[in-house]
Amino acid sequence: MKIAYVVHEFPPDSIGGTGVAVHQVAKDMLARGHRVSVLVPQGLTNVFPSIGFFDEKVDGLSVRS
């Protein structure tokens, strides 16, 4: 199954309650064999459209911010 999480913060850039909880659940789903992606909208693309998105891997998770 493909799973996408959208959250306002995510490790390692931010260590808050919601981000940490989503990080753990996403890792658990990845370990169960699901394809997992995380989207962390920063709100900057509306102000600075040339910035675009930044893609990275965090603990095997595909993260776009």
Q: What is the mean pLDDT for each group of 10 consecutive residues in the chain (65 residues)?
A: 92 85 96 95 58 80 87
Angle in degrees, CA 61, 41, 2, rounded to 5? 40
Per-residue pLDDT at 45: 47
Per-residue pLDDT at 54: 78
Range of the domain at 56: 2-64
Per-residue pLDDT at 10: 86
DSSP code for 40: -
CA-to-CA distance for 57 and 65, rounded, in angstroms? 11
Per-residue pLDDT at 49: 57
Per-residue pLDDT at 39: 92
Count of domains in the chain? 1
The residue type found at 29 is M
